[in-house]
Structure 1
Amino acid sequence: MKRYFIILAVLLTGCTKQLTQTNPNQQTAQTFWKTATDAVDGVNSVYGSLMLDGSYMRFTHVVLNTRGDDATSNSPWDQIYNCGKFALNVDGFAASAPFTAYYQGVFRANQVIESVPPIVMDTALKNRVLGQAYFLRGLYYFHLADIYQNVPMPLTIAQSSSDYYARQVSQDTVWMQVISDFTKAATLLPVSYADVTGLDANQFGRATKGAALAYLGKTLLFTKQYAAAAAQFQAVINLGVYSLVPNYHDNFTEQDENNPESIFEVQFSRSVGGTTQGWGPGDPQSNWAKYEARAITFGPRNFAYCDVQPTKALYYEFLQEPTAANQVDPRLYATMFYNTPTMKVYGQSFQATFGVADSEVFCRKYENDGFVASEFVWQFASGINSRLMRYADVLLMYAECLNEEGNTAQAYPYIQQVRARVGLADLATVKPNLTQAQMRDQIAHERFLEFGLEGKRFDDIRRWGWLQDPTKLAWLQARDPEFKTYTTGREYMPIPLAEIEANPGVIQNKGW
């Protein structure tokens, strides 16, 4: 598999003393950006980077999940096995694949942002196109800052050789740009596409005002600007278009996609596009499928590759609090396959398949259980959308901001909305008058169960400072032995070696 890095997109134009000829059958930047259709097609390509192997097709899930204490790996592939053990090699696929995918998205977003404004077209449609480009650029830079820390930040298309090597900037500088991009996007995007006219009317999956506000709030939360973050989350709530779906498991199947709880999700499909697996990272071909490969990568042993599994820590934490009806938290059943007499795995008895004494647990979220005999039937061809931002996350992030601002009592109702969906007792009744510190721990517990295996836990661990707290780190190591190999600096992924070798303006992260 070829590897491309940020530098490649511009190096292709960096040769000198060449005969320049124009292929009349191939579009160029000079001939393409002319019409409203070009503008929409251009922004559509920016979404395409969400579907690469390094992005949400597969490896972003690996990177975001395995490093938390809710997931572990015994994969035979070292690029997955070592990811959660903070032991990657700097020139490996795990380090390079997400980096490449995100910068491809940035490059495409920059083209839209530069090239669409001069096009003569409907102003409202133009604003929506630009809003989506700002949102997606913000999302890609959010991942780059969150995963790689200090990174190059090109915001324009290279015009000369002096622009080829974008210098590394601080994480704080990238966060500022992310905040700017999401802020612009929120002013340009509609609440939904149901009431717009034009080429994008009634289309699901496009970025909305709610998505931009939610991610703006998340970025402000990650940078500890709690009051400002709370205002954005309150704005999402006030839109009045989002709600929790009654069945928690509906958030992770192909049958209830783009539901009222989903604020932004990556659109995968088994029926759109071609049938050739589009591993990337090069330009997509017309025969590329729109599949995702998380299901077969994370799925249970005998039914998938089982490269990633839930931890027993996640399993046992689900058992800490039964529902008000004294039943097991239903999110456990939706999150993982585990040993119980009634558990079915792809239609087969868990105990008959794995044995009555087996204590293993396996991923169930985002699996096609109940719709196919095993993931091997479809191979790397699942059509389940990745829900990147759910309304439940907005509610719990809002509650966290309220608590951090000293309004602990006001946080209870927003936490309870998430608990009530799965039948848990009123938190204000079972744990009244929590202190701010106690509420922090409670929110951490609520987030662990609500978002287990959704790639949010390690971000939470890092931003809460647990890795620098000896007591918290020891607690993490006791419940997830992979944390025993953590060393200072490895809370961020390594900058790919090829990027460092190609770009003199980039140095490696500390600890690598």
Structure 2
Amino acid sequence: MKKFLYYIPLALMAGSCNKQLDLVNPNVPTITVYWRDAADAMAGTTAIYNSLIQDGTYMRMYPALNDGRGDDFYGDSPWGDLVQVGSFVIPTTSGPIAWVWGAHYQLVWRSNQVLENVPKITMDEALKTRLLGQAHFLRGLAYFNLACMYKIVPVITAPPASSTEFYPATAKEDVLWKQITDDFAAAKEMLPVTYAGLSGPDAGQTGRATRGAAAGMLGKAYLYRKNWQEAANEFQKIINGDYGTYSLMADYRDNFKEINENNAESLFEVQFGQPDQVGGTVMNYGGEPNANWKQVSSTGRTYAMDGYGYSDFLPSRWIYNEYKKEKTTDGKSDPRLLATIASYEPDDNSTQVYGRAWPHAQTAIYPRKYTHDGLNWPGNDDQENSGINYRVLRFADVLLMHAEALNELNRTAEAYPFIQRVRTRAKLPDLATVRPGMTQVQMRDQLAHERALEFAIESIRINDIIRWGWLYDAGKLAELKTHDNDFNTWKAGKEYLPIPQGELDTNPNLSPNPAN
């Protein structure tokens, strides 16, 4: 089976009981009796991954609320939250905003339980180290996502010892990012390069965090905080093969299909599977854990075009035109265009969608990335049962982030080869020939262009826009407004998701963020 099962021990969802009620379900193990042996440690760690396949994380809302805020995507839905988030006017009472917050803190909660309890278990030390490394990685990923989406949040590193710890205070931004880098750094030292060839219950399992994944996310966290040298150091080791062998897939679209998953380009991806692969009868939106949960993604249905899905979002005309700017070495359009966007392109032999004749106006454009267009139709889009894994970190990102770090270190000339590896896969001409001798500023703009084409509709663009400071640069902001009308309603601070109002009302120590 291509994916390991995201098993859900109910103990990991247990909270503190009200002694006045004193109700104990004899069929549900509590935390006080759960953490006994290696089997508990293994199941408890696997349960952390389950938080990645719920609606508030990668099942639907994490991609949707990030993609919707970029200039490559905009809301086209009767569901007001999805349109409002893209226009930067989402209210603090939004349900999806709360789901994202809750699912990520569930991820933190489960990771903290493993980190608190597994060290006390007598078990194989090598397996214990791997499990703790995964908990560090997944907690780091949760906080990385929270930092990017909400800017400032509480940092919780252990289960509450008493009710006095039920209301954590908002941490300073530097404290939050230090926790992120500390977790990824710890994970890097504890995780294996691969699970192939190991002895133990995790032997050969695909989908668990690896040393390469931890190093890649550590480098990304350094890059986001402008620690250029530290970022370059991590990326160079990955590129050198110190943490395993990674390479670009020859077919760009192999990164977004239900086949060829966990491939040579993927450092970490979230494992989804259709019910006929991994079972399940109940949608895995979240809530109380259920042994019958599916392990499906709803992104394929959410992004699919009219007639084949909800069509809740559309690509911007700007990103479509950006793909058309430069011809390939054989005189064609960038092949990433039709892997990312469904459009009527008779010159590129694209006049069909889902195996049928183009049903829309010839000027219409729709998302194709992460949908089942051309892959498995008729199939599962109408039931929201997508099994397409979500790619969290690809080797192409490592290459372009490394180029960016080198450019910021005034080593612009050294950045060219790493960019070209990505361009060569897209059959684009040698950048050193078509744009030789770029200055640092020119290279920044070039990298922004390259990243837009490579990572459109991958939950990355808004993070790039924020970290580059474009929203606070009058010229860049004006440019963004030409890309996507949603930026006309942006106001300072609103690039982040607001802290959910329910959390602010419940926790007296929680501070509003700039979006509140």
Same fold? TM cut 0.5: yes
Q: CA deviation at 1:317?
A: 0.3
Deviation at 1:10, TM superposition (A): 10
Equivalent residue, structure 2, for 1:57: 59
Q: Name the CA distance, whole Å, in 2 between partners of 1:74 and 1:485.
A: 16
Contact in 2 for aligned 1:396/1:447 (Cα 8 Å): yes
Name which of 216, 225, 232 aligns with 2:234.
232
Shift of residue 311, structure 1, vs aligned partner: 0.7
Which digits, 9 at most, give the CA deviation of each residue in 1:288-314, with x for residues without a partner? 000000000001111111001111100
1:407-434 Cα deviation digits (max 9, x unpaired): 0010000000000011111111111110
Checking the alignment, whether the CA contact within 8 Å between 2:300 and 2:381 is kept in structure 1 is no
Equivalent in 478, 484, 487 of residue 482 of structure 2? 478
- Give the one of 164, 167, 170 matched to 2:169: 167
Deviation at 1:25, TM superposition (A): 3.4
Q: CA deviation at 1:370?
A: 2.6
The residue correspondences of 1:116-155 to structure 2 (distance < 5 A) are 116-155=118-157
Correspondent of 1:213 among 194, 212, 215? 215
Q: Give the direction of change, closer, same or farther, for the CA distance of 1:154–1:321 in structure 2 (3 Å limit).
A: same
Q: Which residue does 1:102 correspond to in 2?
A: 104
CA distance, structure 1, for counterparts of residue 378 and residue 223 of structure 2 = 40
Percent identity for Structure 1 against Structure 2: 45
Q: Measure the CA separation in 1 of the matches of 2:495 and 2:340.
A: 25
- 1:486, distance to aligned residue in structure 2 (A): 0.2
Structure 1 residues 441 and 14: CA distance shift in structure 2, 3 A: same
Aligned to 1:279: 285
CA distance in 2, matches of 1:427, 1:197: 46
Cα pair 1:88 1:94 within 8 Å, conserved: no
The residue aligned with 2:396 is 392
Instruction: Give me the whole-angstrom Cα distance separating, in 2, the residues matched to 1:46 and 1:223.
Output: 27
Offset of 1:31 from its aligned partner? Answer: 1.6
Counterpart for residue 354 of structure 1? 360
Deviation of 1:507 (Å): 2.2
State the match for 1:5 in structure 2.
Answer: none
1:288 is matched with: 293
Local SS of the residue matching 2:58: helix
Answer yes or no: is 1:431 the counterpart of 2:435.
yes
Q: Relative to structure 1, is the Cα distance of residues 73 and 417 closer, same or farther in structure 2, using a 3 angstrom cutoff?
A: same
Deviation for aligned residue 1:392: 0.2
Amino acid at match of 1:347: G
Q: CA deviation at 1:374?
A: 5.4
Does the 8 A contact of 1:149 with 1:170 survive in 2? no
- Aligned equivalents of 1:181 and 1:57: distance in 2? 24
Q: 314, 318, 321: which one pairs with 1:313?
A: 318
Structure 1 residue 509: Cα displacement: 1.6
CA contact (8 A) 2:112 2:157 kept: yes
Residue 16 (structure 2) aligns with: 13
Contact 1:300 1:306 (8 Å CA) reproduced: yes
Q: Which moved more, 1:368-377 or 1:213-222?
A: 368-377
Structure-1 residue corresponding to 2:5:
none
Match of 1:203 in 2: 205
8 Å Cα contact 2:495-2:515 kept in structure 1 = no
Taking the aligned partners of 1:158 and 1:434, their CA distance within structure 2 comes to 53
In the alignment, structure 2 segments of 5+ residues that lack a partner are 1-11
Query: Is contact 2:497-2:515 (8 Å) kept?
Result: no
CA gap 1:497/1:388 in 2 versus in 1, 3 angstroms: same
Q: Any idea what the Cα deviations from partners look like across 1:73-102, whole Å, max 9, x if unmatched?
A: 110001111111001110111211110110
Q: CA–CA distance in 1 between the matches of 2:119 and 2:460?
A: 36
2:297–2:386 CA contact under 8 A, matched in 1? yes
3-state secondary structure, aligned to 1:46: helix
1:48 aligns with 50
Q: 1: CA distance between counterparts of 2:511 and 2:422?
A: 43
Which segment drifts farther, 268-277 or 496-505? 268-277
1:87 paired residue number: 89
Structure 2 CA distance for partners of 1:340 and 1:22, relative to 1, 3 Å: closer
AA of the residue aligned to 2:294: A
What SS does structure 2 have at the residue aligned with 1:413? helix
In structure 2, how many angstroms separate the alpha carbons of the residues matched to 1:494 and 1:234? 36
Whole-angstrom CA distance in 2 between matches of 1:248 and 1:371? 14
- What code does the residue aligned with 2:503 have? E
- 1:335: which partner in 2? 340
Scaled by the length of structure 2, what TM-score is found? 0.94
- Unmatched tracts of structure 1, length 5 or more: 1-8
In structure 2, the residue corresponding to 1:388 is in which secondary structure?
strand
Determine whether 1:409 maps to 2:413.
Answer: yes
Give the 3-state SS of the residue equivalent to 2:103 in structure 1.
helix
RMSD of equivalent CA atoms: 1.5
Contact 2:267 2:393 in 1 (8 A): yes
SS of the residue corresponding to residue 389 of structure 1 reads strand
Alpha-carbon distance in 2 for matches of 1:33, 1:11: 13
Give the match's secondary structure for 1:152: coil
- Of 449, 456, 470, the residue aligned with 2:453 is 449
Tell me the residue number matched to 2:9: none
Which residue does the alignment assign to 1:300? Answer: 305
Cα 1:35–1:510 change in 2 (3 A) is same
Q: Which residue of 1 aligns with 2:4?
A: none
Contact 2:504 2:511 in 1 (8 A): yes
3-state secondary structure, aligned to 1:53: coil
1:6 aligns to what? Answer: none
Aligned to 2:508, the other structure's residue is in SS state coil
Task: Choose from 321, 331, 346 the match for 1:326.
Answer: 331
* C-alpha deviation, 1:377, in angstroms: 5.2
Whole-angstrom CA distance in 2 between matches of 1:11 and 1:55: 20
Deviation at 1:64, TM superposition (A): 1.1
CA distance 1:200–1:402, shift in 2 (3 Å): same
Structure 2 vs 1, CA of residues 376 and 472 (structure 1 numbering), >3 Å: closer, same or farther? same
Comparing 147-156 with 338-347, which one deviates more in the overlay? 338-347
Please tell me whether the aligned partners of residues 493 and 515 of structure 2 are also in contact (alpha carbons under 8 angstroms).
yes
More displaced stretch, 177-186 vs 378-387: 378-387
2:493 is aligned, of 475, 480, 489, to: 489
Whole-Å separation in 1 of the counterparts to 2:375 and 2:409: 46
**Using the alignment, how far apart are the partners of 2:20 and 2:462 within structure 1?**
49
Q: Kindly tell me the number of residue pairs found equivalent between the two proteins.
A: 498
Structure 1 residue 440 corresponds to structure 2 residue 448: no
